[in-house]
């Protein structure tokens, strides 16, 4: 299933063009902008025969209110987040042990975008979020993810606790991140079929989510700060898994 999404900002728009120019429907650009970056963008759009509308900046502001669109807004034929049944089919189709990221009620689109970007870079097979009280694929997510919002499969599930149980039944070992984790991150075996489970901003993992994990881990902290931003912590954990998994190849 697809839906039209508005993407603003020079870098996100160029990332969309690189990822799949056939999904670009039309573009609006600030008629006054003639700097080198905008000229380069116009040439890219001309090369794919995309409808380009020269307009006033207030029209761009109306399309993406309170957003730093940098004088360009793109209409993108994106995909809607997938659901429970799609997740099962996706995992069944993998030819290697699954590596998944679960985000428990991450509501800040900046954090979701950064998590998607890290997940894509780390080779994660799927990102899973609850359908309720979690950020969707907003223009901010697309801007921060810089192309990863379309590149990596995102699944929104109706019942996260049930989803975790089903992942465990598939043999996926779930590691939840918590300040009071029973083990240090670097002591955990993150090879094989693994799911990394991250909590929401501030609140962390909910009780049922915590209980749905096989083990809890903590990131070693040497300074006075007690915790990391969820997107930063996600990157730390995912790339520890990458390090371990790369050592086996």
Taking the domains of the chain in order of start, what are their residue ranges?
A: 2-79, 84-246
pLDDT at position 171 is: 96
**28 DSSP β-pair partners:** 53, 73
The answer to whether 160 touches 104, Cβ cutoff 8 Å, is yes
Residue indicated by tokens 């990822």:
19
pLDDT at position 226 is: 67
What is the spatial distance between Cα 168 and Cα 164, in angstroms, rounded to a whole number? 6
Q: Where are the beta strands (DSSP E) in the chain?
A: 2-8, 24-30, 52-55, 72-79, 99-103, 126-130, 154-157, 173-177, 183-184, 194-198, 215-218
pLDDT at position 138 is: 80
**Percent of residues in the chain assigned helix, strand, coil, to nearest 5:** 40, 25, 35
Phi, psi angle pair for 229, to nearest 5°: -55, 145
pLDDT at position 211 is: 93
pLDDT at position 2 is: 61
Residue 71 assigned to a binding site:
no
Ordered DSSP codes for 94-133: -SS--EEEEESS---HHHHHHHHHHHHHHT-SEEEEESSS
The answer to whether 15 touches 90, Cβ cutoff 8 Å, is no
- Domain spanning 2-79: CATH superfamily: Ribosomal protein L30/S12 (3.30.1330.30)
pLDDT at position 100 is: 98
| Tally of CB atoms within 10 A around 205 | 21
Query: pLDDT by residue for the chain (249 residues), tens digit each?
Result: 567 888 888 888 888 888 788 888 999 999 999 899 999 998 888 888 889 999 999 999 999 988 889 999 999 887 767 888 899 999 999 999 999 999 998 989 999 999 999 999 999 999 999 988 888 878 888 888 877 887 889 999 999 999 999 999 999 999 999 876 668 899 999 999 999 999 987 778 899 999 999 999 988 877 766 678 899 999 999 999 999 998 776
Residue 199 assigned to a binding site:
yes
pLDDT at position 180 is: 67
**For 84-246, which CATH class?**
alpha beta
pLDDT at position 1 is: 56
Q: Which two tokens stand for residue 10?
A: 């020079």
pLDDT at position 225 is: 67
Residue 10 assigned to a binding site:
no
**2-79 and 84-246 have identical folds:** no
For the whole prediction, is pTM greater than 0.85?
no
The single-letter DSSP state of residue 80 is: P
């Amino acid at each position: 299933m697809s839906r039209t999404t508005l993407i603003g900002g020079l870098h996100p728009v160029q990332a969309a063009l690189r990822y799949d120019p056939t999904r670009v429907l039309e573009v609006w650009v600030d008629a006054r902008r003639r700097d080198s970056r905008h000229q380069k963008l116009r040439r890219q759009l001309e090369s794919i025969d995309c409808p380009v509308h020269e307009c006033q900046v207030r029209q761009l502001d109306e399309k993406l209110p309170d957003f730093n669109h940098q004088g360009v807004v793109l209409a993108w034929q994106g995909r809607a987040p997938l659901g429970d049944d799609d997740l099962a089919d996706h995992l069944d189709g993998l030819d290697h042990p699954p590596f998944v990221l679960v985000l428990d009620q991450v509501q800040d689109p900046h954090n979701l975008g950064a998590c998607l970007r890290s997940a894509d870079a780390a080779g994660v097979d799927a990102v899973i979020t609850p359908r309720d009280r979690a950020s969707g694929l907003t223009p901010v997510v697309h801007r921060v993810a810089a192309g990863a919002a379309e590149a990596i499969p995102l699944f929104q599930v109706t019942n996260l606790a049930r989803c975790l149980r089903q992942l465990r039944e598939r043999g996926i070992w779930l590691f939840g991140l918590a300040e009071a984790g029973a083990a240090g991150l670097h002591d955990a075996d993150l090879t094989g079929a693994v799911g990394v489970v991250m909590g929401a901003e501030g609140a962390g993992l909910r009780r049922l989510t915590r209980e749905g994990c096989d083990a809890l881990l903590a990131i070693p902290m040497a300074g006075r700060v007690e915790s990391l931003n969820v997107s930063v912590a996600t990157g730390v954990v995912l790339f520890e898994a990458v390090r371990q998994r790369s050592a086996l190849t």
